[in-house]
Structure 1
């Protein structure tokens, strides 16, 4: 699975919808991750382990060697909002591999959410905190989409 690049640079609903469709992921889940990461194109957040997260989906620098093999540059990851969302969806798809989405979110919720947490960290404590934040953010995004405030 290779990330898809779209011609629109800012993070836009079309970017999220295209990435979700390409990797067969729920749109609400990508919005939950976007809201949890809370960053924007061009933004870098340093992690305590010496790595750093880039752009709207918080793509960690540990992914740069694998992305380089696919012809994706650090600049694209950092500055192209749509490419960043597509890469985040690609990473999430790798973590959720083998799950039938969106059904598995309801039929095997513990495994599903553990793998969502793996997007951020495999360490149980950080994984648990992250997946709770993504779940809450996704619920908020859904509520707002329905016209709530």
Structure 2
């Protein structure tokens, strides 16, 4: 994995997270850095189960809502798989985000739907989802800036890259075209190896 940029440190930057996010990104055609931004925002853990006010639970690292358990059961997955297996959790997250993107046709609203669901967007619920999506886009942008810096990419004042790159902001603003897929690795000082 030499020569591939590493991600900035955050709770889920492990070799497994990087590999599973890369695989899920390619499988479901979801930007890889968006998956890392979701993980950063959700800050869940393998085995985590967080109760919501509506009685549902959010499971695992990407906090996949239990409302999806019945759907994923068609594929032989149980709640425990979503909660306790990192790769299953991030793949489910990528599937949900892609499904939302197919319905909403932009990344920002796909992220809103990931947080509040794809339907029944009251003004108050949308405000909550908008805040969530803004935070995720901020993490996504931060990851992109980190990767750009490692690759020597600079941007003009309006955010246009001076070298070929795809910014999350531009992807979030629409682009149903296939986003550029990136694959990341951990640098040796992040893994503790020499």
**Which interval holds the TM-score relative to the shorter structure?**
0.7 to 0.9
Residue in structure 2 matched with residue 117 of structure 1 by the alignment: 112
Matches for 1:14-93 after TM superposition, within 5 Å? 14-93=19-98
* Higher helix residue share: 1
After TM superposition, the score normalised by the length of structure 2 is 0.61
1:5 equivalent in structure 2: none
Which of the two has higher C-alpha Rg? 2
* Alpha-carbon offset, residue 140 of structure 1: 2.4
| Contact in 2 for aligned 1:32/1:138 (Cα 8 Å) | yes
Answering whether residue 131 of structure 2 is matched by residue 139 of structure 1, we say no
TM-score (norm 1): 0.78
Answer with 83-92 or 119-128: which moved more. Answer: 119-128
Q: Tell me, yes or no, if the aligned pair for 1:33 and 1:57 is still in contact at 8 Å.
A: yes
Aligned to 1:107: none
CA drift of 1:11 comes to: 4.3
Tell me the distance in 2 between the aligned counterparts of 1:42 and 1:143: 31
- Aligned residue runs from structure 1 range 2-21, under 5 A: 11-21=16-26
Please tell me the root mean square deviation across aligned C-alpha atoms, in Å: 1.8
Distance in 2 between the 1:98 and 1:127 partners? 16
Spell out, residue by residue over 1:63-102, the C-alpha distance to the aligned partner (whole angstroms, 9 max, x if none).
1111112210111100000110001001111101167xxx
Q: SS of 1:96's equivalent?
A: helix
Tell me by how many angstroms 1:45 deviates.
1.2
Find the aligned partners of 1:45 and 1:143 in 2 and give their Cα distance: 31
* SS, match of residue 96 in structure 2: helix
Report if the CA contact (8 A) 1:11-1:85 is conserved: no
Q: Which runs of 5+ in 2 are unaligned?
A: 1-14, 118-124, 151-194
